[in-house]
Amino acid sequence: MITLEGPHMGLNDSRSTNRVQMWNTWNVTTTETVEHMLGWIAEVARGAPGGKLKNLVFRCHGAPAYLQCGEGIRRSDTGLFSALSGLVDKIWFSACQVGYITPGTGGNPGPASGDGNMFCSEIARAANCYVVAGTELQVIGVNRTLPYGCLDTYEGLVLSYGPSGTVTWSRRYPSTYNRGSSGWARNPD
């Protein structure tokens, strides 16, 4: 488990069977627009102790350069994250493959194909904060609510982008999907 410093906020998309619990937790419906989500996050951040959030978690399904949260967040939406500039220290994408670059797509935006590296880099620059995202499928179980203030450990390669949009660190966690012929294994969290 990754323990996050508060104040923190978690957005749980209604299509995800797993949930995070944060200082402020929002169960996002499929009709929420990106503008509304970011506006509400900014409002919560302004009302947080110290006037900002230390950590913001998007818990949803994902694909390269795409978050299935609300109506969906695509690469064409990255500039809208400027609404969070100065209000969030770090954004965590707890979703499959968000940071992955789909080979042969030329970075075309959209579900299941795109340049996740540019998606995360552009969000980090627009929001002027750190962004953490995985590049592989994430396996955390079904109908699971994580402990308060915690995020499950990532699977596979994870990248952190700084406010300038460059990668500041990377880490490779064990991967359920890349274990070869030895079969499936479960994330220890």
d(CA 125, CA 127): 6
The band of 142, judged by pLDDT with boundaries at 50, 70 and 90, is: confident
Model pLDDT for residues 94-141, shown as the tens digit of each residue: 999 999 998 765 545 555 568 999 999 999 999 999 999 999 998 877
Give residue 8's pLDDT. Answer: 99
The mean pLDDT value of the chain amounts to 91
Query: Each residue of 135-161: b (16+ CB within 10 Å) or e?
Result: bbebbbeeeeebeebbbbebbbbbbbb
For the segment 82-88, the average pLDDT, to the nearest whole number, is 99
Lowest mean pLDDT of 16-20, 37-41, 166-170, name the range: 16-20
Model pLDDT for residues 32-75, shown as the tens digit of each residue: 999 999 999 999 999 999 999 999 999 999 999 999 999 999 99
The band of 175, judged by pLDDT with boundaries at 50, 70 and 90, is: confident
Task: For residue 83, give both structure tokens.
Answer: 């609404």
Q: Which residue has the higher pLDDT, 169 or 104?
A: 169
d(CA 178, CA 185): 10
Residue 53 φ/ψ, nearest 5 degrees: -100, 135
Is residue 52 within 8 A of residue 45, CB to CB? The reply is: yes
Q: In the chain, what are the domain boundaries? A: 2-182
6: Cβ–Cβ under 8 A, 6 or more apart, which residues? 22, 23, 54, 55, 149
